[in-house]
Amino acid sequence: MRQFYLSDPELFNIKISSFDFMVYEYFCRNYDLKRLRAYVRMIDAADRFKVPMNKIQDSLDRLSRTSINFKPLITHNDFRYFEMPRYREFLEGIQFRKHHSSRGWTNVKKKVQKDLNGAYE
């Protein structure tokens, strides 16, 4: 399950740059599904994309101004503490709840089996 993450389908209906999408996707991939907590380290993202830290900060700032259903993609407090309110709302919508993620995995498995005719690995 390495490099697995759940993608919010509403994300494809907004206009963001490809770099911002890659940054957001990277942070979604590192999201803690058991505790529903964002794991955002700008230094790791800068190393992963081989860009300076200020470019990651600019991207996070743009993502914090982008919202879906009045929930911003990323919120930050002086670039120290980060939350991902829209991603959290999406996960709770498919039954991923804090310390009870097994119900979410069951729902994801059923959805994949229904849509892909059982091609679930």
Q: Is residue 47 part of a domain?
A: yes
Q: Is residue 121 part of a domain?
A: no
- Give the ranges where the chain is alpha helix by DSSP (H): 18-29, 42-49, 53-65, 85-93, 102-115
CATH classification at residue 83: 1.10.10
CA-based nearest residue to 1, from 34, 42, 43: 34
Residues 6 or more apart from 90 whose CB is under 8 A from it?
6, 8, 10
Q: For residue range 8-31, list pLDDT tens digits in order.
A: 888 888 899 999 999 998 888 888
Length of the chain as a residue count: 121
* pTM for this predicted structure: 0.76
Q: Is residue 62 part of a domain?
A: yes
CA-based nearest residue to 7, from 24, 62, 56, 20: 24
The DSSP secondary structure of 64-89, one letter per residue, reads HH-EETTEES-EEETTTEEE-HHHHH
Confidence of residue 37 (pLDDT cuts 50, 70, 90): confident
Q: Is residue 96 part of a domain?
A: yes
How many domains does the structure of the chain reveal?
1
Range of the domain at 50: 9-115
Confidence of residue 2 (pLDDT cuts 50, 70, 90): very low
Q: For residue range 53-108, list pLDDT tens digits in order.
A: 999 999 999 999 999 989 999 998 888 888 889 888 888 887 776 656 667 677 77
Identify residue 113 by its one-letter amino acid code: Q
